[in-house]
Amino acid sequence: MERITDLNQQIITNETGEKEYYTVTDNRNGKTYEVPIRNSREGRYIMAKDIGKIKDAEGNVLRVYDPGYMNTIVNTSRICYIDGDLGVLEYRGIPIEQLAEKSTFLEVAYLLIYGELPTKTQFEEFNQRISGHTFLHTDVLQMMKHFRYDAHPMGMLISTIAALSTFRPGSNPALAGQDIYKDLKIRNKQIYRILGQVPTIAANAYRSRIGRNFNNPSSDLPYVDNFLYMMDKLNENKYSPHPKLAKALDILFILHAEHEMNCSTAFVRHLASSGVDVYSCIAGSAAALYGPKHGGANEAVLRMLEQIGDVKNIPSFIDKVKNRKALLFGFGHRVYKNYDPRAKIVKKTAYEVFEICGKEPLIEIAIELEKIALEDEFFIKRKLYPNVDFYSGVIYRAMGFPTDMFPVLFTIPRVAGWLAHWVEYLDDKENNIVRPRQNYVGYAKRDYVPMEQRQEAKFNLESSKSSTSKRREAGTSVVL
C-alpha cells in the first residue's frame, strides 16, 4: 500500500489519534492508495495533487473533472468565511451584522485588505491617502467624454479602469519588472489609486449617461458621501448628500464588498497569476461581474416584480414557477442554503430609505412574495431563501438610480474585496500561474486536406443585420 502524505497540510486525526485517510483501490493494477483527509473551517477536503499521484502503467496521472469548479477548492484564504447552511458571513472573522451596524465601508475596505481593523491614526492616514487619489488625469476625463452617447455605465467603467494602466507604466510588471509589487509602497499606492478613482469613474459614467458635466471630487466629504456628491451636485455653491441616504448606501457597500470565491473574485486571482498589472485585474473582474448571471441579478428581480404587477397576482406567479413557466429571481444561492444574512440587513435598510425618498411600490410585492415563498413546501424543500439581490434593487430604485447603474453600484464596493484577494495572492507561496486542464473530445489526428478536395461542412455563417443594413442591401450598387 502506498501512503500519500504532505507534511505541509493539516491532516485530520480521529478520536483514537489515528490519521484519517480516503482509501482508493486502482482496479487496473490492484494498487491501493491512502489519500490523507485534511481539515479547514469550511469542511474536509483532499488535495488534487494527491489524486494526481495515482498513475497507470504508462505513467498517466489521474485527474479530476469539475466543470464550473462546483466542488473544487482553488486557494487558501483568510479574507471571508461563509457557512451556507447556517447563513453566516464574516469578513476577517467579524460577522457581517456587526460591520453593517458599527463600521463604515472604508474601514471595512481596510479590514479586508490588511487583515485587521485600523486604529484611529491608521484609518485617518488610509482615508487621507485615498482622498488624495480621487482626481482623474485630464486625458482620462477626455476619453470618458468620447464614449458613445448611450454607452452603458458599466462598459464605461470597465474600459476606463483598464485604461488607467496606460497612465502608470512605472507600476506595470510587464514594463517595470515582474517583482514590482513586492515593494509594499508601490503596492499600497495602487490600492489608494484604485479605491480613490473607481467612484470618480462611476460618477462620471452616470453624469455622461444623463448629459451633464463631470464634478470634481470633494476632499471634505466621507467616501460614500463624495460619490453621491459627484453624481448629484448641480450649480450649488455647496452641496451635501442626505446623511441617511449616504449611510444606507454605505451599508449596501459593506454588504457587497466581499463574498469569497465568486466568479469575478476568482478571476482577479486568475489574472494576477499571469503577473498582469492590477488595473487589468480589476477591469477583468468588473467585466466578469457585468455578466447577467453574476452582477445583473438585482435588475432581474425588479423586472420580475414589475411582471407580477400586483400582490394579487403572486399566487399565479408562484404556480408558474413551480411548473417551470416562470423564473424566480432573488431566491436561492449556490452557497447559502439558508436566509442570506445580507438580505435581512438590506430589507431593514430599505425602510430607512423610504422615509426620505418615498416608498417604492414594488416593495409590497416583494414582501408578500417572500412571505408566501417561505411558507411554501416547494421552496422550503429546495432551500430557496431570499438573497442579497432580492431587496437591493428595490432600494436602488427608490434612491433614484437607473437600472443600468446597478452593476456599477455592485462594482464600487467589490473592488475592496478584489484588492484584498490580489494582495493575498501576491503573498501566497502557492501562487503558481493558473493553468487548468481540459477534457479533449475532438478529432483524433488527421491530415490536412487541400481546398479543392474538401467537402462543405455544415456551418451557419450568417450574422444578424440591422434594419439599416437591410435597407442598404435592398438597393442596387455598381462598382466602377
Q: Which of 6-15, 92-101, 256-265, 278-287 has the lowest mean pLDDT?
A: 6-15
Residue 462 has pLDDT above 80, yes or no: yes
Give the tens place of pLDDT for each residue, 226-270: 999 999 999 998 999 999 999 999 999 999 999 999 999 999 999
Q: What is the pLDDT of residue 16?
A: 63
Give the tens place of pLDDT for each residue, 182-210: 999 999 999 999 999 999 999 999 999 99
With a pLDDT cut of 70, the percent of the chain lying above it is 96
Q: Which of 155-159, 163-167, 223-227, 350-354 has the lowest mean pLDDT?
A: 350-354
CB 108, CB 79: distance < 8 Å: no
Residue 1 has pLDDT above 60, yes or no: no
Residue 165 has pLDDT above 70, yes or no: yes
> What are the φ and ψ backbone dihedral angles of 91, each rounded to 5 degrees?
-105, 115
Q: What is the pLDDT of residue 396?
A: 94
Q: What is the pLDDT of residue 36?
A: 86
Q: What is the mean pLDDT of residues 334-338?
A: 84
Nearest to 391 by CA among 325, 337, 315, 339: 339
Residue 463 has pLDDT above 70, yes or no: yes
Domain boundaries, the chain: 1-68, 74-433
Q: What is the pLDDT of residue 417?
A: 99
74-433 classified as CATH 1.10.580.10: yes
- 425's CB contacts (< 8 A; 6+ apart) are 75, 268, 269, 272, 273, 431
Q: What is the pLDDT of residue 15?
A: 63
Q: Which of 13-27, 253-267, 466-480 has the lowest mean pLDDT?
A: 13-27
Cα(376)–Cα(373) distance, rounded to whole angstroms?
A: 5
Please give the residue that has the higher pLDDT: either 445 or 459: 445
Q: Which three cell numbers stand for residue 365?
A: 410585492
Q: What is the pLDDT of residue 58?
A: 83
Query: pTM for this one?
Result: 0.90
Q: What is the pLDDT of residue 3?
A: 44
Amino acid at the residue 332: G
Q: What is the pLDDT of residue 6?
A: 43
Q: What is the pLDDT of residue 255?
A: 98
With a pLDDT cut of 90, the percent of the chain lying above it is 69
Most confident of 9-23, 163-177, 285-299: 163-177
Q: Residue 52 half-sphere exposure, CB side, CA atoms within 13 Å?
A: 5
Q: What is the pLDDT of residue 333?
A: 84
Residue 421 falls in the annotated catalytic set: no
Q: What is the pLDDT of residue 34?
A: 84
Q: What is the pLDDT of residue 2?
A: 47
Model confidence at 14, pLDDT cuts 50, 70, 90, reads: low
- 181's CB contacts (< 8 A; 6+ apart) are 173, 187, 190, 278, 426
- 35's CB contacts (< 8 A; 6+ apart) are 4, 21, 22, 23, 24, 46, 47, 50, 51
Adjacency order of strands within the sheet including 88-91: 80-83, 88-91, 94-95
Give the tens place of pLDDT for each residue, 279-323: 999 999 999 999 988 888 888 899 999 999 999 999 999 999 999
Q: Say what angle helices 153-164 and 184-209 make with each other, to 10 degrees.
A: 150
Q: What is the pLDDT of residue 27?
A: 85
Q: Which of 42-56, 249-263, 288-302, 409-423 has the lowest mean pLDDT?
A: 42-56
Residue 270 falls in the annotated catalytic set: no
Amino acid at the residue 385: Y
Q: What is the mean pLDDT of residues 345-349?
A: 93
Q: Which of 250, 277, 340, 389 is catalytic?
A: 389
Q: Which of 67-71, 131-135, 188-192, 312-316 has the lowest mean pLDDT?
A: 67-71
The number of beta carbons lying within 10 Å of the beta carbon of residue 319 is 12
Residue bearing cell 485600523: 118
Q: What is the pLDDT of residue 190?
A: 98
Please give the residue that has the higher pLDDT: either 116 or 327: 116
Cα(399)–Cα(414) distance, rounded to whole angstroms?
A: 20
Element (DSSP H or E) covering residue 209: helix 184-209
Model confidence at 8, pLDDT cuts 50, 70, 90, reads: very low
Cα(200)–Cα(145) distance, rounded to whole angstroms?
A: 14
CA-based torsion, 456, 458, 459, 461: positive or negative: positive
Q: What is the pLDDT of residue 222?
A: 97
Q: Which of 259, 270, 333, 421 is catalytic?
A: 333
Q: What is the pLDDT of residue 272?
A: 97
Give the tens place of pLDDT for each residue, 357-397: 998 889 999 999 999 988 999 999 988 888 888 899 999 99
Q: What is the pLDDT of residue 31?
A: 86
